[in-house]
């Protein structure tokens, strides 16, 4: 995809995304971005996969997020600070049931092993794992209760930059 200059975006980028399916490793997504313009361009990327709750309600879902901090948000969901997750309901590093907890926020301070981290969603019927590399320094977690519609939705979105990075610059790269 060639992203051309337009109102609010005076930069030129070429972005490529490759999807590959592997029987042992599952779905891989590889993205690249190249500046094709003459000026430096701010860049950030994120993917928003939903992991299955296998028909379970959110109260029965266990979520594991390898993050030591969460972003504090204002009433418009704009990040205004950081908070350690230690001794809070947001400490999901070892995994815990959501019960009544619902989320629409980002985490950082991600724990990696050999350059890779993993977030998980588990239920009695199964689970899913999302791997990300060191390029992704934030995880946006969004839960959606679909009562009466057959289950729940849990998105764990790896992002290279923080929400609202266009204004704050948090995590933006210069392409």
Question: Per-residue pLDDT tens for 43-67?
Answer: 899 998 988 888 888 888 999 999 9
- Quick check: 13 pLDDT over 90? yes
Which pLDDT score is estimated for 160? Answer: 95
Which pLDDT score is estimated for 147? Answer: 63
**Both ends of the chain: CA-CA distance in Å?**
15
What's the angle, vertex CA 174, arms to CA 169 and CA 175, rounded to 5?
145
DSSP letter, residue 161: S
Name the pTM for this structure. Answer: 0.89
- Give the C-alpha separation, 109 to 139, whole Å: 10
Task: Please state, in angstroms and as integers, the Cα–Cα distance from residue 109 to each residue in 1, 82, 165, following that order.
Answer: 31, 10, 16
What's the angle, vertex CA 70, arms to CA 64 and CA 74, rounded to 5?
130
Which pLDDT tens digit goes with each residue over 80-109?
Answer: 999 999 999 999 999 999 989 999 999 999
């Amino acid at each position: 995809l060639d992203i051309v200059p337009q109102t609010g975006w005076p930069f030129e980028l070429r972005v490529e995304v490759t999807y590959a399916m592997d029987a042992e490793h599952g779905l891989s997504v590889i993205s690249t971005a190249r500046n094709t313009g003459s000026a430096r361009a701010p860049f950030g990327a994120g993917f928003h996969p939903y992991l299955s709750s296998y028909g379970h309600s959110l109260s029965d879902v266990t979520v594991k997020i390898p993050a030591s901090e969460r972003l504090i948000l204002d009433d418009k969901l704009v990040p205004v600070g950081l908070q350690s997750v230690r001794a809070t309901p947001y400490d999901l590093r070892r995994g815990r049931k959501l019960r009544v907890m619902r989320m629409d926020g980002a985490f950082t301070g991600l724990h990696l092993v050999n350059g890779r981290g993993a977030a998980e969603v588990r239920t009695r019927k199964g689970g899913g794992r999302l791997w990300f590399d060191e390029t992704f320094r934030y995880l946006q977690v969004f839960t959606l209760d679909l009562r009466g519609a057959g289950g729940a939705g849990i998105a764990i979105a790896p992002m290279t930059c923080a929400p609202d990075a266009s204004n704050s610059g948090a995590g933006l790269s210069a392409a």
